[in-house]
């Protein structure tokens, strides 16, 4: 199935310059497929574990997450029924949501730099995740004006934090036409749906109306990864998720993640995580106990 990429149109509530949303078990976030929008997005996932899929970066998060995603950077939703999180808080804003010159004043220099770095996606951990997460949850009880001041305060805390990891450190170039966003999202969504199967380069080239060499060059130029490496990383992150969450054998994890050779899976997993699958699972058990 050829999934059309989703451009998500975000309209702030009447009288607001930003969008604030809160989701929980009774009100789930429906944005699960790969999508993009011109707004920056700050997401706090309170507890739980799941996949973090931003640009060409895919990884597994535990004990919640705090992420800042740059404008037009493709990403997936972070929570579903299986994530086990208590809630998810989202703030979305255009880079110039307070006017074209506001972030150019000297006091906003750190935040302006943060927006630039966020083009590759940033995950925050440690004390920053806890402190900012609490501030984001309090937004629910504030007036619009209080929320605006809180968001500026949060952005300043993030801009001066050392607990940050750039997710697409090798680069992700989407400063091209919107049709490229649609094209790369179509590719990402196909991988998301079919990663357990064999994905032929010829099929991906046909799907994007390219020759195989053109598709390979195009994918590498935008993501700074080969298509094969991206699919393998997607499978390995899924394997990490299964090892952490499902009481199934490592052989079953291998085949459930799209690998058809157990020794290749073992070697790839160790190269990717630094541990073989059984060490990874045992370490998780020790941490949980």
pLDDT tens column, 44-64: 999 999 999 999 999 999 899
Q: What is the mean pLDDT of the chain?
A: 89
Residue 88 and residue 31 in contact, taking contact as beta carbons nearer than 8 Å: no
**Domain 195-288 is in which class?**
mainly alpha
pLDDT above 90: residue 10 = no
pLDDT > 90 fraction of the chain, expressed in percent and rounded: 67
pLDDT, residue 33, reads 83
94: CB partners within 8 A, 6+ apart: 38, 39, 40, 71
pLDDT, residue 178, reads 56
What's the pLDDT tens digit per position in 115-130? 999 999 999 999 999 9
What CATH number matches the domain at 6-166, 3.40.50.150, 3.40.50.10490, 2.60.120.10, 2.60.120.560?
2.60.120.10
Domain limits, the chain: 6-166, 195-288
Report which of 34, 44, 38 is spatially closest to residue 12, judged by C-alpha positions: 38
pLDDT, residue 287, reads 60
* Alpha carbons 53 and 237: distance in angstroms, whole number: 10
Residue 61 and residue 49 in contact, taking contact as beta carbons nearer than 8 Å: yes
Counting every residue, how long is the chain? 289
Q: Which residues pair with 51 in a beta bridge?
A: 60
pLDDT, residue 1, reads 46
pLDDT band of 7, cuts 50, 70, 90: low
Q: What is the mean pLDDT of residues 188-215?
A: 95
């Amino acid at each position: 199935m050829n999934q059309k990429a989703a451009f998500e149109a975000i309209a702030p509530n009447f009288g607001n310059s930003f969008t604030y949303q809160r989701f929980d078990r009774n009100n789930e976030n429906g944005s699960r497929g790969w999508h993009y929008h011109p707004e920056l997005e700050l997401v706090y996932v309170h507890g739980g574990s799941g996949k973090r899929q931003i640009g060409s970066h895919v990884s597994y998060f535990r004990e919640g997450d705090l992420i800042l995603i740059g404008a037009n950077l493709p990403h997936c939703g972070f929570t579903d029924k299986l994530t086990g999180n208590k809630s998810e808080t989202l703030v979305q804003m255009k880079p110039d949501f307070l006017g074209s010159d506001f972030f150019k004043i000297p006091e906003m220099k750190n935040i302006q730099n943060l927006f630039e770095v966020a083009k590759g996606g940033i995950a925050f951990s440690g004390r920053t995740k806890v402190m900012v997460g609490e501030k984001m949850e309090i937004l629910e009880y504030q007036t619009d004006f209080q929320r605006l001041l809180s968001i500026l305060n949060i952005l300043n805390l993030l801009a001066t934090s050392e607990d940050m990891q750039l997710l697409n450190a090798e680069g992700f170039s989407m400063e091209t036409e919107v049709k490229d966003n649609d094209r790369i999202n179509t590719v990402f969504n196909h991988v998301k749906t079919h990663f357990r199967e064999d994905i032929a380069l010829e099929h991906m080239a046909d799907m994007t109306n390219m020759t195989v060499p053109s598709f390979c060059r195009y994918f590498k130029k935008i993501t700074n990864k080969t298509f094969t490496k991206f699919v393998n990383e997607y499978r390995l992150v899924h394997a990490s998720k299964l090892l952490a969450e499902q009481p199934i054998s490592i052989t079953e994890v291998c085949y459930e993640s799209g690998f058809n050779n157990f020794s290749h899976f073992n070697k790839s997993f160790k190269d990717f995580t630094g541990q073989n699958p059984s060490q990874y699972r045992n370490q998780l058990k020790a941490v949980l106990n």
